[in-house]
Chains A and B, each alone.
Chain A
Amino acid sequence: MKINRKLFPYVLTLPALLVCVGILIPFFTAVYYSLQRYNLKMPHMKGFIWFDNYVNIFTDPSFWNTIRVSLTYTFFTIIIELLLGLGIALLLAKRTWLNNVLGVLLVLPLMIAPALASLIWRLLINPNFGVVNYILSFLGLEDFTWASHPDTVLFTLIMVDVWVFTPFIMILLLAGLRSLPRQPFEAAELDGVPEYYKFFRITLPMLFPFILTASLFRLLESIQQFDIIYALSQGGPGESSMVFQVSAYLQTFQYTNIGKAAAMMVVLWAICYFLCHVFVQQWHKLKIKTKGELLQ
């Protein structure tokens, strides 16, 4: 059996490509739906309406609310996770037994399904018996409303997201910190350079590619977070925690408005596709960098 050498790589990737095609079909179907008036409750109204769905969602104040909530959620989760993750990574950078054990244990929240993480926290902040409420009552914070009030629901969701995903940033930055070359630090030591100067002028710039890659990765996931929010607040109370995917989910299954939901998802997809491009570029740069340093 002789296969053309040029064709051979395609033969190897063919099975994966078939799955690829199988996924591209529903994708294009969704794009097609987004150009249609399509409500399951009114099948006879189905028809092609070009960009009316898009015009509709962008003139709808509740979609702007969705954008605002999604961006707020994304912004705060990334910032907090980044600062916290960096802080913990710096704290654990030295290889002592405590740090090694913690490095292993702190990854555990990341391994828990985000939906289940939400359920864990639901049990911890339950107004009747939640142990966190009990602990907070010592700090003078009684009857914190958590997910049951529009003012605190986003805080609660961000807290759960931070709980699950800070370890992701932490573990990548920890690996980054430990892989940094030693010479610049030794030189700075000899010159008696102060700590903060070392941190801002040596550590941070050298760590930057790691930080960028990890944040872009989180950014992509955070902007389309569904599990945590659906399992904890389902977008409520009211629309105070309504993010992209939860909104599209409710559009589909409560209001059966497939066309509108598809249009929302296409908007989100466009954002993610762009971010994914940026992410892959950074990822390649980081890969070349870490491989290059291994050669030294």
Chain B
Amino acid sequence: MSINIWSILKFFAYVAIIMFFLFPIAWIFNMSFMTNDEILRKVPVLFYEPTFKNYIGLWEGEIAIEGFATMYVYFKQNLINSAILSVGSVSVTLLLGVPAAYAFARYKFKGGEDIAFTLLSFRFAPALLIILPLNLYFSEIGLYDSYFALIWVYQLITLPLLLWIVRGYFEDISPDIEYAYRLDGHSWFQSFWKISIPLAKPGIAAASLLCFIYAWNNFVFALILGSSQIQPVTVGALAFITASAIPYGLIACGIVVSVLPTLILALFIQKYLVQGLSLGAIKG
């Protein structure tokens, strides 16, 4: 009897969890295939003719709205911006972060822990504290509204993340392998490039994908430091929803297109997610 009650409770728990966490995503996907009329019905429609009009409109940047003239949306540019900013930030992070992560893992040097901690504390510093003065600086030296400036600021989140995750992977490699290779007459750089990096490769790959996701999802940096010309999808979608007269289906479609890349990437790094999210403390 008691087993029965437990399994019924468990069943409801599963249903509630799936409803709360997954239904919103499913419904937004659903909305993106609806026309405005279908969305605006008081009783939600479940069966309808799915339309790709929203997606086509979003891509072409032109939508005809009844009662209004043709409307122009620039969401494609937001998508391109997101891609440039995320790929750019991850590349810079890899270049700066991997050697540093190696140094923190392999050498005990004076101030090393302090530097590693300072870098991590940036990740947890209030973003506005650093962006406000930067905003004024950038306006003065003409860097406001440039990809370069934004990518540099993005290092605030991506660099500490990569550094702390990859550091853990380097720590797991036995230094003896490197010594053995170097005793054969290879230079430090050769052993770093041919031994250490390939061994830490899964970690580096997972960390950079996670960095990509965090960069893609960032909102506040571009909100303050960029004009609409270089703003990513997160800011673009908000402008979308606050602008009047844009059909709701199109907004939903914009959101779907914005979240799809990170959702797909998340499925790829499934195995490494725990290790990445815990900054390397927990093995998944």
- How far is the CB of A281 from the nearest CB of chain B, in Å? 10
B197 at the interface (CB under 8 A from A): no
Q: Which of A21-29, A59-67, A145-153 contacts B (4 or more CB under 8 A)?
A: A21-29
Asked if residues B126 and A269 are in contact (CB atoms below 8 Å), the reply is yes
Asked if residues B22 and A30 are in contact (CB atoms below 8 Å), the reply is no
| Bound Cα distance from A8 to B265, whole angstroms | 36
- Chain A, 247-281, contact with B by CB distance < 8 Å: what is the 0/1 string? 01100100000100110011011001101100110
Interface SS, B side: helix
Contacts of A57 in B (CB 8 A): none
A286 at the interface (CB under 8 A from B): yes
Asked whether A22 and B152 contact (CB < 8 A) given A8-B107, A13-B99, A109-B21, the answer is yes
Asked if residues B252 and A123 are in contact (CB atoms below 8 Å), the reply is yes
B211 at the interface (CB under 8 A from A): no
Contacts of B42 in A (CB 8 A): 129, 134
| Bound Cα distance from A213 to B96, whole angstroms | 27
- Chain A, 223-264, contact with B by CB distance < 8 Å: what is the 0/1 string? 010110011000000000000110011001000001001100
Within 8 A of A (CB), among B250-281: 251-252, 255, 258-259, 262-263, 265-267, 270, 273-274, 277-281
| Bound Cα distance from A175 to B20, whole angstroms | 22
| Bound Cα distance from A175 to B273, whole angstroms | 10
- Chain B, 206-247, contact with A by CB distance < 8 Å: what is the 0/1 string? 000000010011111001100000000111011001000000
User: A290 is contacted by which of B18, B22, B283 (Cβ under 8 Å)?
Assistant: B283
Contacts of A6 in B (CB 8 A): 109
Asked whether A131 and B44 contact (CB < 8 A) given A9-B112, A108-B266, the answer is yes
- How far is the CB of A158 from the nearest CB of chain B, in Å? 13
| Bound Cα distance from A177 to B97, whole angstroms | 31
Asked if residues A23 and B28 are in contact (CB atoms below 8 Å), the reply is no
User: B284 is contacted by which of A102, A112, A175 (Cβ under 8 Å)?
Assistant: A175
Interface SS, A side: helix
Contacts of B21 in A (CB 8 A): 105-106, 108-109, 163, 166-167
B79 at the interface (CB under 8 A from A): no
Contacts of B121 in A (CB 8 A): 272-273, 276
What residue of chain A has the Cβ atom nearest to residue B82's Cβ? A113
Asked whether A120 and B255 contact (CB < 8 A) given A16-B163, A290-B283, the answer is yes
A185 at the interface (CB under 8 A from B): no
Within 8 A of B (CB), among A91-129: 91, 98, 102, 104-116, 119-124, 126, 128-129
Classify chain B's interface size.
35 or more
| Bound Cα distance from A15 to B129, whole angstroms | 23
B177 at the interface (CB under 8 A from A): no
- How far is the CB of A136 from the nearest CB of chain B, in Å? 12
A50 at the interface (CB under 8 A from B): no
Contacts of B258 in A (CB 8 A): 113, 116
Asked whether A108 and B241 contact (CB < 8 A) given A12-B103, A16-B97, A114-B217, the answer is no
Asked if residues B115 and A226 are in contact (CB atoms below 8 Å), the reply is no
What residue of chain B has the Cβ atom nearest to residue A265's Cβ? B129
User: B278 is contacted by which of A114, A122, A213 (Cβ under 8 Å)?
Assistant: A213
| Bound Cα distance from A244 to B127, whole angstroms | 11
Within 8 A of A (CB), among B130-173: 130-134, 136-137, 152, 155-156, 159, 163, 168
B25 at the interface (CB under 8 A from A): yes
A20 at the interface (CB under 8 A from B): yes
Contacts of B115 in A (CB 8 A): 13, 16-17, 20
10 nearest A-B residue pairs (beta carbon): A113-B217, A12-B103, A29-B133, A265-B129, A16-B100, A9-B107, A115-B219, A111-B266, A26-B133, A9-B109
Name 6 extra pairs, CB < 8 A, besides A108-B22, A163-B20, A245-B220. A26-B133, A108-B25, A124-B27, A171-B274, A249-B224, A266-B129
